[in-house]
Structure 1
Amino acid sequence: MEYTVYQLAFFFFIYSFAGWCIEVCCAAIQKRKFVNRGFVNGPLCPIYGSGAVLFAIFLPELKEAPFFLFLAGAILASILEFITGAMLEKLFHRKWWDYSDIKWNYEGYVCLPFSLIWGGCAVILNMFLNPLLVKLLGIMPKLLIVIIMIALTVVLVLDTVGTTLTIRGLQKKQVQLAEFTEGVSHVSKLLENAITRRIQKRMDKAFPMLEIPKIKRQKRTKEKETVFAEGCSFYKLASLFFIGAFLGDITETIFCLITAGKLMSRSSVVYGPFSIVWGLGCAFLTAILYRIRNKNDSYIFIAGTLLGGVYEYICSVFTELVFGTVFWDYSKFAFNLGGRINLLYCFFWGIAAVVWMKLLYPRLSTWIEKIPMKAGKIICTVMLVFMIFDCLLSAMALARYTERNTTGKQAQNEVESFLDEHFGDERMERIYPNAKIVD
């Protein structure tokens, strides 16, 4: 990793504050008065800091290719903005921003003009600002940096929790837990009402379109579910993850057999024929493309090509940073980018998106929804537990495999001895035949 954890944390808070300043200035120009535009009460817009951290983790090696740095930054930030906007709407049942009145927008969450601005920011941050901030950070005492980062993190967490509870109308329930006497209860209620009114008033000004629930407790009637995994729900995406992971592994195995003439493992885990990249990609693309599943094929193809390329690139960087291993290398392909992705396979992602959304997904979705409610939830839960265990064990085995082959270090405890005994070099190389250890 090019940057340390402390540097990334520093980037997060610096750019969160800078983003807040930009939002406040834009709001001041439009409304001719000061408006705190952040989700939290403090002078921070975490989505800007999160975007900057993603740029710093996944995009530094593209500094020698500014166009691809710009393109990757635009797409990566757009995905972040879409996911954040969709999650906030899911949690609070309101949109926090809406680009519906801007041309070339997608569901009001993202739009082309702002995506292009994000791309420009990725270039500026990685090529100019981040190196300057690293130099500035180098001047400061390390202990002071640690204290500041911890303090800012604690304040941000408390601020976020308090704001979230207020917006969801849950602050009263939390305060009542601390009401031991009638006098304390009276003081608590006064504080609760003052704080809650202040936050709600600020949220009304910052986001006029957002309706904040009243503090009074309201009875909610929950509709009884009758269909398992209906729509694009959690259980539907979980089911598609398992199906995609299995089918992806089988497809790659057959593809390698046809093109390379040999049968080799394409699994991501030590137990079972599952490709995590394909499984996550299947769930990820479904979640994003679900809203445009009825659009024409060319629209879905372009979206799948771009999203698939960015997704594969991120997976490649992530596995190299975490495991010190490269699981695929496209350096010998034409039109490749750092050996992580290539144009041909990006087109495959686009074709796969069309085939998936138009042909496979509708049929699979129908079959999944026919599963009995109780049985479906039990199967998904068991599979999730198994997959989490499988992924953790695979990660430990890969980390130990890398350590053995880079340092020659002998097992220091029972866990490492177990990994050496059950997941030796021969077995690991059979499971991951294309894995390459990097420094």
Structure 2
Amino acid sequence: MFLSLIFVVFLFLVVQGFVRVVVFFWDWLSGGDQLDADDVERAETALEESEDVLERELARAERQRGLGRLFARWHASNEAVDEYLDHLHLGWYQVVIIFFVGSMAGLLIEEVWMLATAGLTESRVGLVWGPFSPLYGLGAVALTLLGFFLRRRGAKNWQVFLVSAVVGGLLEQFAGWSMSTFFDAESWTYLGLPDRITQWVAWRFLVFWGLLGLAWCRAVMPRLLYQIGMPTTRRQAVFVTLVAVYLVADVAMTLVCFNRKSARDAGVPPANAFEQWVDTNYSDEFIAGRFENLKIGDQRDAVDENGNLIYDENGNTLTEAEGGAR
């Protein structure tokens, strides 16, 4: 018990220290040489208008009492954020940061969920470098772009829900189909679910995407964009550009590794020194250890002629190798 308490305190201090470092670094990025005058003026105008709204609404909130004052202050904060978003220019700067944060946050949530519901502690990363799952990053970017568009057109909640469900389903379908078609691989399958629509899309997860999009559009996205803001200094622009270059290189290297894994399974030798280097440093053992939930080639789940999963006598799914042998 005492050791557990010590661990919790230590973990809290580590998280607190990490947050302070991030805040310090973010403040440092806000210094230095500024960008073009028009960009700086746009960002400063948006912030000034937002602060004016906040000041006015807080003055009204002070006339309330008890819980009414608390809710009025929350309303004032929301009004200030809405005012800022009315002036926000959504571009590559915000998209890169949202993809970066979404890829890590989605991975963390998925691993915690799998640990809590299935007791699994396997690695569920999607790229060879870093703790990223690009599917969640793409989902966060797609929901942000759509949410921002729908917000400015005054979309109703049911419209946001439906659009988010469709976008989420299309994203899963495209990602699953691409992995299966180009790399003979799969990270998930819904063939065992009674409400499946395709191998990678199911009704229950369309509902999940719809609810997620609604929560993202109404609660998460506005404040996240407000915190990210618009770039005003060269440090901010350079840093986010470097992050974008790193992510592009990470995605490209992951595709190369998957391509060579498929080629090795087919008995195709490396064609040049680079492919030889990839085979040496990103071997089958590396792929298996890095992407523990990824099934490639004959390790994929076996299906019958009707597209249904094949199970053994104990109710466990068979792989293509096992299904073919039987």
The farther-off stretch of 223-232 and 340-349 is 223-232
Deviations 1:99-126, CA, capped at 9 Å, x for gaps: xxxxxxxxxxxxxxxxxxxxxxxxxxxx
Residue 297 of structure 1: aligned partner = 157
Structure 1 residue 254 corresponds to structure 2 residue 112: yes
1:149-228 equivalences in 2 (<5 Å): 223-226=38-41, 227=43
| CA distance 1:370–1:401, change in 2 (3 Å) | same
In the alignment, structure 1 residue 426 sits paired with structure 2 residue 292: no
Letter in 2 for 1:314: F
Q: 1:347 aligns with which of 207, 219, 222?
A: 207
Post-superposition CA distance 1:226-274 (Å, at most 9, x none): 4299332221122211111111111111111122212122221101111
Q: 1:374 is matched with which residue?
A: 234
Show the counterpart of 2:275. Answer: 416
Q: Which has the higher contact order (CA 8 A, sep 6+)?
A: 2
Instruction: Quote the offset at 1:428 in angstroms.
Output: 0.6
| Alpha-carbon separation, structure 2, partners of 1:374 and 1:244 | 24
CA distance in 2, matches of 1:290, 1:343: 25
Contact 1:267 1:274 in 2 (8 A): yes
Q: Which residue in 2 is equivalent to 1:239?
A: 97
Distance 1:315 1:378 in 2: 30
Q: CA deviation at 1:307?
A: 1.5
Taking the aligned partners of 1:224 and 1:251, their CA distance within structure 2 comes to: 35
- Please, which runs of 5 or more residues in structure 2 have no aligned partner? 1-35, 45-84, 299-326
Distance 1:375 1:222 in 2: 15
Question: Which residue pairs with 1:314 in the alignment?
Answer: 174
Q: C-alpha distance in 2, partners of 1:314/1:278?
A: 13
Identity rate, percent: 24
SS of the residue corresponding to residue 38 of structure 2 reads coil
Find the aligned partners of 1:268 and 1:304 in 2 and give their Cα distance.
22
Shift of 1:434: 2.6
Mapping of 1:398-417 within 5 angstroms? Answer: 398-405=258-265, 407-417=266-276
1:435 aligns to 2:250 (yes or no): no
Query: For the Cα contact (< 8 Å) 1:326–1:438, is it kept in 2?
Result: no
Shift of 1:418: 1.4
C-alpha deviation, 1:303, in angstroms: 1.4
How far apart, CA to CA, are the structure 2 residues paired with 1:261 and 1:224?
A: 49
Corresponding residue number in structure 2 for 1:356: 216
Question: Structure 1 CA distance, aligned partners of 2:39 and 2:211?
Answer: 38
Q: Over aligned residue pairs, what C-alpha RMSD do you find?
A: 2.4
Question: Does the C-alpha gap of structure 1 residues 339 and 352 become closer, same or farther in structure 2, counting only changes over 3 Å?
Answer: same
Q: How many positions carry a matched residue from both structures?
A: 218
Whole-Å separation in 1 of the counterparts to 2:111 and 2:145: 26
Separation in 2 of the partners of 1:436 and 1:289?
34
- What secondary structure, in the 3-state scheme, does the structure 1 residue paired with 2:215 have? helix
What is the CA-CA distance between 1:372 and the residue it aligns to?
4.7
Distance 1:322 1:302 in 2: 30
CA shift in 2, pair 1:317/1:289, >3 Å: same
Q: Distance in 1 between matches of 2:268 and 2:166?
A: 42
Following the alignment from structure 1 to structure 2, what is the Cα–Cα distance between the partners of residues 326 and 319? 6
Counterparts of 1:427 and 1:260, CA distance in 2: 24
1: CA distance, partners of 2:255 / 2:99: 19
TM-score normalised according to structure 1 size? 0.46
For residues 122 and 232 of structure 2, what CA distance do their matches in structure 1 show?
36
The whole-number CA distance in structure 1 between the counterparts of 2:142 and 2:297 is 28
SS state of the match for residue 138, structure 2?
A: helix
Spell out the pairing of 1:23-172 with structure 2 (5 A cutoff): none
TM superposition score normalised by structure 2: 0.61
Equivalent residue, structure 2, for 1:282 = 140
